[in-house]
Each structure stands twice: as C-alpha cells, then as structure tokens.
A and B are shown apart, each in its own frame.
Chain A
Amino acid sequence: MSRYIRQTCLAEFGLEGQKRLKDASVVVVGAGGMGCPVLQYLAAAGLGTIGIVDGDTVEESNLQRQVLFGTSTLGKNKAVAAAAFINNLNPQVFAEVYSYRLTSDNASSILSKHDFVIDCTDNFETRYLIDDCCEALKKPWIYGAIHRYEAQVAIFNYHGSPTYRQLFPEQSIEKIPDCADNGVLGVLPGLTGMLQATECIKLITGIGEPLVGQLLVFNVLKMQFVTFSFAAKKPKTSSNSQCLVHLLSASEYKDNVERYLLIDVRELNEVPDFPMAKRIPLSELQLRIDELTTDKKIAFVCRSGNRSQQAAAMLAKTNRFNQLYAIYEAL
C-alpha cells in the first residue's frame, strides 16, 4: 500500500478511505480539458473502476490542455489513449473504455454500471442527457463547465438534491455558444477538472463538505471563487374545486400500477421510457385530450414532478375529469 501512503496517513481519509475508493466505480463523460485531470487524479488516487466515454480522436490543438495525450497519441481515440495512460499510471485501476459518444440510446446502460458520473462534456445537449439519465437512475453527478476565464462546478441529484434541469430549465439555451467558438486557457478546464475530482473523492470517502446544493463559480483572471447556494424544490400541493388533483409518490404508483392509466408528459426525446406509460408531451396534451378516455385513474408522470403537476392542473380546469393524479418524482 506504499502507493497510497501519503493519503492513507491523513486521519480523516485513512485505510477506510482507500478501501472506499477501491470499491468505487466512476464514469467520466468526456476525456478532454476537464476529463484529463479528472482521470489522471482519480486513477492516481486508486479508484477501483473508471469508465471513460469519448468518441473523439486526439488532435494537435487538444494538446495545449488535454494533458493525458501527446504527440504519440495524435489520431487515437481519446478514451483508448486515456485508458493506456491510466494503465501505465496505476495498473490497479480498471479503466473501462467506451470509445463512442454518449447518446440517448447508450446513456442509461453506460451510466447505470457506475456509482458516480462526472460531466466533462462541452455541450448542453449531453449535460441534459446526463441529468435526465442520472435522475432516472437516482445517481449523483458532478457538473463542470467553463466559459472563457470562468468555470462552474456543482454536484447534482445527490440524495434528492436538485438536478441541473431544475436549476437551468432547457430554454433558449442554444443562444449560449459552445466551447469550440471560444478560446480557452488550458489551465482553466484543468483546474475545473481538479475540483471535480476533489468533490468525487469527497463523495466516495465521505470526508469534508461536498458542493451539494451549491454552485461554485470562479474566475481565474480575478482569481475569485464564489459559492452560491440553492435549495431543493419541494412538490406543491394543488387543488381545484371541481376536480381533485392528488399527488402520488413513485412507490404509491408502483404498488397499484394496474389502477392507473399512466401518461408520460415529457418530450419524446427524453429517456428512459417508463414502462406502461403512454407518451403525450405536455405541449400536446391540450390537443390530445380525447386520448384520455379510460376506466382507470389517470396519472401523469414526468422527470421531476413539475410537468406532471402542470398537466394535472391544466386538465383539472377542463372539468372533464373528477380526479387526476400527478406523480411528484421520477419513477
């Protein structure tokens, strides 16, 4: 164990901390500017399994910040090259290679195999995919994102803490340019990744106070670090004089599945599919109201409980139903 002696001799960390790292499995989505230091430090620290998801190949312009790669790995797949680096750095780590992009087809099966997800991506689309998938799988994920000389770091969906979508609903997001349009100082994603790796080690070993319910924003030109707190959103109780809207927990629903016609009001591109659910996106519900003819009770479901309650409240106003049910959490 001499490899880890400098961390196991920390009182809070100890041999127990090392065992927890060894037993842990993390998946890093994106082996770029943030992913490289995350992978490097987690491998060095002795994680049991590290999954690496990246479909890109190493280009010369990456080498200014993607420090696992070099001239000899130009043209190679990043997940493959990163795994080779890890195998050399620490053969005790199992580096699991996913040499392709994370998509809505493969996200659930990849992320479900690991305990923690680290977002080292460079676009909103993949972040929402990670967020939706992690919420469905009840898995925490560590967010990191940069803009020029600034970065944000946070932990989402940790034991019921807010999700990314709750903080930043997906609207007008395309107005914000992606990284490729912007310059970046190599150290900025590097520092961001180091902070994400630190939070990951804290979550796994249970030491310190992780950034749960907090958004860290820092600026490297000013060298200022500011932490903003955010609270969990609680489900609201809603009612209507003509039609009662009942709130259901996921387990209340699951205990009596056969009693309900389940309507999934998420957009069609949101994953995963809920078993038994009929999909009618909230945006189409008003027009497709006639499809809700049933002897069963009608229950709405979405990703986090906001849209299911909106759907129930909207239909309650039509006075065509006596009672409606909204599931206030993910299934």
Chain B
Amino acid sequence: METHYRVTFYGILQEQIASELSLNVSLKNVSEMRSHLEKNYPILRNIPYLVAVNRTISSPENPLTTNDDIAILPPFSGG
C-alpha cells in the first residue's frame, strides 16, 4: 500500500532542501525515513537533525503510518 507523509524542514535545511515535501513512499519507521531522505538529500548526512512525528521528537524505531506529519529539525546556532 502506498503511504503518504508531509515532511517539513526547518532552519538551514529549509534553504538547502525545501520548506515542505509531500512523500509518497512506504516506510516502516523513522530510521527508514532518515535513510530515504539522506539518500535523496545527501546534505542530511552531514548535518545533525531531529525527526519529529506528529510533533513528538521520535527515536529511529518509532513506527510511521500514512499521513504522519514529519518535521526535520536541525539545531540553530545564532543569537
């Protein structure tokens, strides 16, 4: 079954990738989401980031279900 996720990028990743993406792929968990994104956007291999699923920062084994709201959050350095 095809699943769908809305992925929002923050900080430097918003400039480097996109503000928002609509993904139609089948992914089991956050770890697979990370691999999928890092394959398509190699910059993610070099920048630390958190993955939030439906506004909860989630660990790699956290499962994904269709229509989940994914946020990709790098730390900010400025002040």
User: Which A residues fall within an 8 A CB radius of B?
Assistant: 30, 32-35, 119-124, 144-148, 150-152, 167-169, 171-173, 175-179, 182, 184, 189, 192, 215, 217, 226-231
Q: Are A147's CB and B77's CB within 8 A?
A: yes
CA distance A310 to B14 in the complex (A): 34
| Size of the chain B interface, CB-CB below 8 angstroms | 21
Known: A32-B79, A178-B78. Contact between A150 and B10, CB under 8 A? yes
- Which of chain A's residues have a CB closer than 8 A to the CB of B55? 226-229
Q: Are A147's CB and B73's CB within 8 A?
A: no
Q: Are B79's CB and A147's CB within 8 A?
A: no
Interface centre among B15, B52, B76 (most CB of A within 10 A): B76
Q: How far in angstroms is the closest Cβ of chain B from A81?
A: 18
CA distance A182 to B52 in the complex (A): 26
CA distance A217 to B52 in the complex (A): 12
Q: Are B77's CB and A122's CB within 8 A?
A: yes
Q: Give which listed residue, B10, B14, B77, B79, contacts A177 with CB less than 8 A.
A: B77
28 interchain pairs, CB-CB under 8 A? A32-B79, A122-B79, A124-B75, A145-B77, A145-B79, A146-B76, A147-B11, A147-B12, A148-B11, A150-B10, A152-B75, A152-B76, A167-B75, A172-B46, A173-B48, A176-B12, A177-B77, A178-B78, A179-B79, A192-B79, A226-B71, A227-B55, A228-B50, A228-B55, A229-B55, A230-B50, A230-B56, A230-B57
Q: Are B79's CB and A120's CB within 8 A?
A: yes
Interface centre among B56, B73, B75 (most CB of A within 10 A): B75
Q: Are B78's CB and A146's CB within 8 A?
A: yes
Known: A147-B12, A172-B48. Contact between A189 and B79, CB under 8 A? yes
